[in-house]
Amino acid sequence: MEGNFQISKTTNLLRRIKDFTRSILEDLAEGRSPIISINRFRNYCMNPEADCFCSSVEPKGQEILTLKKESQTYRIDMLLRVLLIVQQLVQENRHASKRDIYYMHPSAFKAQSVVDRAIGDICILFQCSRYNLNVVSVGNGLVMGWLKFRESGRKFDCLNSLNTAFPVPVLVEEVEDVVSLAEYILVVEKETVFQRLANDMFCKMNRCIVITGRGYPDVSTRRFLRLLMEKLQLPVHCLVDCDPYGFEILATYRFGSMQMAYDIESLRAPDMKWLGAFPSDSEIYSVPQQCLLPLTEEDKKRTEAMLLRCYLKREMPQWRLELETMLKRGVKFEIEALSVQSLSFLSEVYIPSKIRSEAISP
Amino acid sequence: MLRFSSFFYKCRLSEDLCRLSILLDQSTDRNPPITSILIADTGIGCNLEEFQDLRCPREFSGAKIWDGLLSVKTTCITEDEVYYFHVNLDENISNKRLKRQPSQAKNGAKFSGTEVSLSVFGSTDVLMAPIIGFFQKMLVLQIPNVTMDLMVNQGASPATQTQYVFVVNSDKTSCFTASNLERLKSGLEDYVLRHENCLDMMCEHCFSDREHLKVGSGTACTEENRKRTGGKMEVVIVISDLLETTRQCSRSCDGKTEVLYFENFSPSPIPLVALIALKKIDWKSYGLILASVNDQDGHVFLEWENFPSHVQIQIALHWYHNQYPTRQKTQLGINLVKKGIKNALDDLKAKHEGFLLSSHARKICSYVPDLARSIAGLIFSSTDIDFQGDCLSVLGFQPQEVERDAVEDYIQRKIVTVIGMNERKPQKDQEAAPFLFFEGESKTSYFEDEEIDGEYFSTSLE
Ligand SMILES: [Zn+2]
Ligand SMILES: [Zn+2]
Ligand SMILES: [Zn+2]
């Protein structure tokens, strides 16, 4: 991103915050009750009819906040508190994490989720991403492989140490000079799998970048992945457990989350491929019976609900079929179950063969 | 009926300054004591039929009339002499009841008035209380041209003579031009400031000035087509917050609300319709919870639940009508009283932001300090001086001499005003769904992004 663009974006945000403040003051001065309307976004619905508009990034509705209801007044209160902090951050070009903001008034905010919602409201209100507010989250994610970049001056030279885990950068928007010799990006759900691949020197043998969100991927990890996809134009493969939890993680990488639906475009990984594990893998790779766990009632409920999501029907019917198969078989298994025969089975057999077949298939 | 108010009535009708005097004279040697009462007014005078038709029990203001005799002197301004006669209350035949006595010539002097004297069983102590009570209430109406006084003799010596004077606050020259409602307003204020008019002057402990009182007034009339049956209702409500001033005052504040009731310029026992109306008002929408309505011989007190002990509410109702509402008109009367009180409450609410709000609005108001602090913060922490000046001028401040506290304070009051306003006129959009969104949240995700995101971190941020 160009420096000048950043500056103009910042001034723009400050100007919009000032306009907002002014309009509230004008309302109050003239005895009008201020009204704040916040667009609502969604990235999927569960309508059986296919004629929804979830694929568009346009708002799907509006919430009107006034001082007539206590719950809305509380939300406005929280919004203004956080907005005040944001204005100061942006003016002074400082950054803070959501957690930092929470700890500025823990008794007023009561919970981190309150701050998070206020940040979301502000992003929607001022039509920007969270990083524009100078609110950052320190990522949970790890990266290794054929990659080199700088984040606000700091060097991340993964190339120099191919099988070492580097933390995903905090200020993703300030990542520059990305250099890569990789052929693809591999996203793995779990840190254990990531560590296994590191131990197996996976990146030494395969020209790739490996990323993990260590479970459910946070905003920085998803944003970083998106940034790499844009800069490097590489195919992305995702490896998750064969269970509803793993599928949810896969869907979050691919389609984004409902909470951050307003900022979906900067967070999702549109062309991501599902590498595995598929329900059918248990037979193909003869996963031992004791590693196949029955789906719990909760698992089944989750899966049934996920099957209704419109984006699967619309964009990924084959993923949906796999999910249905999982439900039909009534069993789940973890990625590690594939490695019972040999510890390096994943890095030596499973992943390379899957990548190869993905490359052949259209 | 032989009532104080009938004397007062003649005074009120007179356009000149009038005086209404009562003299109580107790003969010391009698047991049970007998007191002679002299009531004199300089009002318009009366015609004799009034006394001819007087069908009153041998009783005056609760005391038995000793010999059943009234002696009456009266004259109108146009008459040359003062008529004098005796009225025998025991006489049933009305044309025999009145005995004419020799008239007195006025010798060209122009005056009018009535003087009635009678003797009753009872001591002055007993008789004084209702008379003083009547005068104290009468003062609330602030009828400017009438002064009232009471002279009490408890023996022959001047040392046993006491005089009580009841004068409408004369420092308010507007009294003569003011409307009845305006007078009732300032009259009720005075009533509060002078401890139910027990003091001659305003209590200095209570309120240094009446600005501290919160006053609201309202009127209600019956619709035109129902022609004057219900008449007109005027209501004044005064709320005093003793915390705002001082706690030195000797007055005990029991949190009860006295309801003063006047009917056609006279204090009266409160009628049933007004009692019903008091019970039917939606006090809750003004943040008040009515616990009970106590009716002690027409003196009505309202008691509140969870009411701050330092706040006192006074209500005065004045009903102008030509006739009592008949049975089928009862609902009309109830509505009239209700409407008058409601209008007065709304008036109070409109004048004092944040006051008499419902508990719902008060909950919303609890956010106001925070909201104001944040909004003021957005102004004052901005590095854009032009923007700051802009905001301050929107609020009507001069940018040079502005203190942040003053601005914050002002914003607070403005927000409270808006909240009160929202409550007064519930807009139609209020109940419209705030979610113009489809089926609401579909919580099928395992995760709330925000709960997990940033859970662990190590800040190395500068
Ligand atoms: Zn949809
Ligand atoms: Zn934080
Ligand atoms: Zn006092």
What is the nearest CA distance from A158 to chain B, expressed in angstroms?
A: 20
List, in sequence order, every residue forming a beta bridge with A148; answer none if it has no partner: A157, A179
Alpha helices in chain A (DSSP H): 3-29, 70-92, 98-104, 106-109, 112-125, 191-199, 202-205, 219-232, 244-255, 264-267, 281-284, 297-307, 310-315, 317-329, 345, 351-360
Residue B401: per-residue pLDDT: 75
List, in sequence order, every residue forming a beta bridge with A147; answer none if it has no partner: A180
Q: Is some CB atom of chain A closer than 8 A to the CB atom of B422? A: yes
Q: Is some CB atom of chain B closer than 8 A to the CB atom of A43? A: no
What is the nearest CA distance from A349 to chain B, expressed in angstroms?
A: 31
Residues whose beta carbons lie less than 5 angstroms from ion ligand 2 = A 97-100
CATH topology for B179-351 is Ribosomal Protein S5; domain 2 (3.30.230)
- How many CB pairs below 8 A link A and B? 193
Decide the pairing of beta strands A331-332 and B311-320: unpaired
CA of A260 to the centre of ligand 2 (A): 16
Q: Is some CB atom of chain A closer than 8 A to the CB atom of B350? A: no
pTM above 0.90, yes or no: no
What digits encode the pLDDT tens for the residues A158-195?
999 999 999 999 888 889 999 999 999 999 999 999 99
The reply to whether ipTM tops 0.90 is: no
CA of B43 to the centre of ligand 1 (A): 87
Q: Sketch the domain layout of chain B as residue ranges.
A: 4-171, 179-351, 353-462
**Local confidence pLDDT in tens for the 462 residues of chain B:** 356 666 667 667 766 778 888 888 887 777 778 888 888 888 877 766 666 666 666 666 667 777 778 888 888 888 888 888 888 877 777 677 778 888 888 888 888 888 888 888 888 888 888 888 888 888 888 887 788 888 888 777 777 788 888 877 655 545 667 888 988 998 898 888 887 777 766 777 666 667 778 899 999 987 655 555 568 899 999 988 766 555 566 666 677 899 999 988 888 889 888 999 999 998 988 888 899 999 887 789 999 887 777 778 999 999 987 665 555 567 888 888 999 999 999 999 888 877 788 888 888 999 999 999 999 999 999 999 999 999 999 999 987 778 899 999 999 999 988 888 887 665 444 444 434 333 334 333 444 444 333 322 222 222
List, in sequence order, every residue forming a beta bridge with A237; answer none if it has no partner: A186, A273
Query: How far is residue A154's CA from residue A333's CA, in Å, rounded to a whole number?
Result: 40
A7: left (phi over 0), alpha (psi -120 to 50) or beta: alpha
Q: Are B217 and B340 in contact (CB under 8 A)?
A: no
The catalytic residue among A103, A131, A253, A285 is A103
Query: How far is residue B195's CA from residue A229's CA, in Å, rounded to a whole number?
Result: 82
Token pair 């916040």 is at which residue?
Answer: A38
Query: How far is residue A304's CA from residue B212's CA, in Å, rounded to a whole number?
Result: 66
List, in sequence order, every residue forming a beta bridge with B69; answer none if it has no partner: B88
Q: Are B451 and A112 in contact (CB under 8 A)?
A: yes
A125: left (phi over 0), alpha (psi -120 to 50) or beta: alpha
List, in sequence order, every residue forming a beta bridge with B260; answer none if it has no partner: B316
Q: Hey, are the CB atoms on B418 and A80 less than 8 Å from each other? A: no
Q: Hey, are the CB atoms on B360 and A259 less than 8 Å from each other? A: no
What is the nearest CA distance from B306 to chain A, expressed in angstroms?
A: 22
Q: Among residues B80, B69, B92, B96, which one has the least CA distance to residue B45?
A: B80
CA A157, A161, A166, A171: dihedral to nearest 10 degrees? Answer: 0
> Is-catalytic flag, A103?
yes
Q: Which ligand is nearest to the CA of A115?
A: 2
From A298, which residue of chain B is nearest by alpha-carbon distance?
A: B446
HSE-CB of B460 using CA atoms within 13 angstroms: 9
CA of B447 to the centre of ligand 1 (A): 19
Q: Are B258 and B303 in contact (CB under 8 A)?
A: no
| CB < 8 Å to B411, chain A | 25, 28
Q: Hey, are the CB atoms on A76 and B411 less than 8 Å from each other? A: no
Query: How far is residue B195's CA from residue B206's CA, in Å, rounded to a whole number?
Result: 9
How far is the CA of B217 from the CAs of B186, B209, B311, in angstroms? 11, 19, 18
Tell me the DSSP string of B173-235: GGGGTS-HHHHHHHHHHHHHHTTTTTSSS--TTT-SSGGGSEEEEEEEE--GGGTTSS-EEEE
Q: Which residue has the higher pLDDT, A30 or B94?
A: A30
Q: Is some CB atom of chain A closer than 8 A to the CB atom of B176? A: no
Q: Which ligand is nearest to the CA of A56?
A: 1
What is the nearest CA distance from A362 to chain B, expressed in angstroms?
A: 31
Residue A360: per-residue pLDDT: 66
Sorted by where each starts, the structural domains of chain A and their CATH numbers stand as: 10-45+58-136 (1.10.10.10), 142-360 (3.40.1360.10)
CATH architecture of B4-171: 2-Layer Sandwich (3.30)
Q: Which ligand is nearest to the CA of B206?
A: 3
